Amino acid sequence: MNEVVVTLISARTIEQGIGLEIGKTSEQYQNSVSVIELNPSDFESLEISEGETVEVESDYGSVLVKCRSSQDVPKGRAFMPYGPWANKLFSSSTRCSGMPQLKGIKVRVKAAKGLKMPSIVELIDELRRL
């Protein structure tokens, strides 16, 4: 199966800001943050179409999100808005600073055709089962 290894950056976006002010359980919020953006060349190598689900995996966890291609993202890098989806990929280690590293971690992205992205309610249920 096709897979790319990229450096993931997470950050704020306007859509995420607008969405969270409507509410964390709103469609707008969920849509705004459950996405990964890749450089078109990396995107193409996955052989998927715009908005299709991919599995993103780091050393600390994995998550299913939809995938888009973006000219703004350099090759070998990826972008995700802050939120519960991205946070499944980060380590809680802060190296004695209090701050976990939320930018610049290595992740593997692979196509996950047919798999469904979890909703916020499903993410919560998953946590409840812990």
Partner 1 sequence: MEVFSDVVCPFCGCLCDDLEITVENNKIIKTKNSCAISLSKFMHHEDNRLNYPTVDGRRTDLVEAINESAKILASAKRPLIYGLSSTECEAINRSIELAELIGGVIDSTASVCHGPTIITEQSIGLIKSTLGEIKNRADLIIFWGSNPTESHLRHLTRYSMFPTGLFTPEGRKNRFIVAVDVRKTKLSRIVDLFLEIEPNKDFELISALRAIVRGVKIEAEQVSGIPINILKELAERMKKARFGVVFYGLGLTQSEMGDMNVNAAVGLVSDLNHHTKFVILPMRGHFNVAGANTVSSWLSGYPFAIDYSRGYSRYNPGEFTAVDLLERKEADAALIIASDPVAHFPASAVEHLTKIPLITIDQKVNMTTLLSRIVIPAATVGIEADGTAYRMDGIPIRLKKIIEPSEGILPDSEILKMMIDKIRVLKGGY
The first and second tokens of residue 119, run together, are 């909703």
* E strand or H helix that includes residue 78: strand 77-81
**Interface of this chain with partner 1, residues 33 to 72, rule: CB under 8 A:** 60-61, 71-72
Residues that bind partner 1 (rule: CB under 8 A) add up to a total of 50
What spatial distance separates the first Cα and last Cα of the chain, rounded to whole Å? 30
Alpha-helix residue ranges (DSSP H) falling in 1-130? 14-22, 27-33, 40-45, 120-129
Q: Is 118 in contact with 33 (CB distance < 8 Å)?
A: no
**Interface of this chain with partner 1, residues 67 to 86, rule: CB under 8 A:** 71-74, 77, 79, 82-84
Question: What x-and-dash track marks residues 99-128 binding partner 1 by CB under 8 A?
Answer: xxxxxx---------------x--xx--xx
Write out the residues near partner 1 by the rule CB under 8 A: 7, 9-14, 17-19, 21-26, 60-61, 71-74, 77, 79, 82-84, 87-88, 90-104, 120, 123-124, 127-128, 130
